[in-house]
Structure formats: structure tokens, C-alpha cells
Copies of this chain bind each other. A is one copy, B any other.
Amino acid sequence: MEIDYSFLSNTLLFRGTTNDEIRAILQCLQATSKDYQKGDMIYHAGDTVDSIGLILHGSVHIESDDIWGNRSILDHIDNGQIFAETYALIPGETLMVNVVAAKDCQILFLNIGKFIKTCSSNCDFHTKVIRNLLMIAARKNLNLSQRIFHTASKSIRGRLTSYLSQQAKINGSYQFTIPFNRQQLADYLGIDRSAMSNELSKMQKEGILSVQKNTFHIF
């Protein structure tokens, strides 16, 4: 397996490690890589896993199929990011979701479950990876909490204002651009797209905000 160390050392997981350390860690983590074609299922709902996936090339979707067969995309994971770390860390916990290749991709699998539990060599670089994992988990936690927060209101208006207020705060400006199109924003907030469009129109008529494409201006 050809390893691109400079790529890995720029990922959140390996941040702050040297090439030598990465080499050692990959050994510990029993790293293997595998290629997938767009649409391939990488992990199935119901699987138990002990390896996280790190995306070397391409991207994946975290998807959920409900009982009626409706597929919804819960998350998009890009190049350099990891997935399934929660499930790899908690032994025996079954995946609620599918992981599907969004593009052709190459995944590096790292057996983190075994690593956490049994790898005895408590060297410096072990701690680095665990710290990095902790920071990734904390960040993910924050994102999940925020989403729950923004969907707490029962009205479309309430959810929009919650989300948009936060975006304004993050950007430090009443004018900002969001990383979603309308459908994605509606999915994120758990509401119907057309109803949301309608509400945004009303808010513009009321003079609360203005929108051009993904750029919002709150008054």
C-alpha cells in the first residue's frame, strides 16, 4: 500500500504526527485500504464495526432508509475525514445507518476498537491519535447538539431564526453565506422545502431579512 504521508499528516486524525509516527500508528491500527465505486455500500445498517474509515479519495454519504424505503442523506463526509468512529469505539453497537460511496473512493480502514482496548504501548504518538480523536468527537458532538437545538422549535419560522441567528453569530456579521441549498437546509432543519421557501418569502415581505441564493442578510 502506497501511503501519502503529507496527506495524512494534514488530516484531523493525524494532525501533529511525524511520518515515522504515522507509519507506526498504521501498523498498530492494522491499516488496510480498499477501493469503492460510486454507489457501493461501505457499511450496512445493522453491522457492528471495529474500524473507522478515513477517506483517502472521494467522499461518502451517511444514509438512512426508513421502513417505507425513503432514503435520506444524514451526512456527507469528505476527503481526509473519518466516519463510523462512534461505532468503532463502542463495542457491539450496531450501525443505524448505511455508509455509501458518494463518488468513486478509496477508504483507509483503521482498527480503532482493538487499539483503544488492547494496544499496550502507551507511547507519545498513541496519545496524539487519541487526543485527536477526542477533539473530532467533541466537534461532532457540538454539531449534533446544534442541530438538535435548531430543530427544537415546532414552527418553521422558529427553526429558521434559530439557524440563521447562529450563522450570523458565527460569521460575525448580519450578512453571511450558508453552505446549503434550499433542499439541504430544509433537510437539515427537518422541514418541507416548499413550506420553507414560502416562510422565507414571508419573512422578506415582513422586512426581517433578504436572501439571494445562499446569501442571507438579516435586518
> What residues of chain B lie closer than 8 Å to A122, measured between beta carbons?
124, 127
Q: Does A205 contact B (CB under 8 A)?
A: no
**Chain A interface category by residue count:** 35 or more
**Is A178's CB within 8 Å of the partner chain B?**
no
Return the contact of A148 from the options B124, B126, B148 (Cβ within 8 A).
B148
Looking at A18-26, A99-107, A129-137, A210-218, the stretch in contact with chain B turns out to be A129-137
- Indicate if the CB atoms of B145 and A147 lie closer than 8 Å: no
Is A204 an interface residue, CB under 8 A from the partner?
no
Q: Roughly how many angstroms separate A89 CA and B147 CA in the complex, as a whole number?
A: 19
Chain A interface SS verdict (over half): helix
- Say if the beta carbon of A85 comes within 8 Å of chain B: yes
CB neighbours (8 Å) of A149 from chain B are 64, 96
> Is there an interface contact between B142 and A140, defined as CB atoms closer than 8 Å?
no
The verdict on A151 contacting B190 (CB below 8 Å), with A122-B127, A127-B130, A135-B89 known, is yes
Binding site for B on A (CB under 8 A): 64, 66-67, 72, 74, 85-87, 89-90, 93, 96, 116, 122, 124, 126-127, 130-131, 133-135, 137-142, 144-149, 151-154, 158, 161, 190
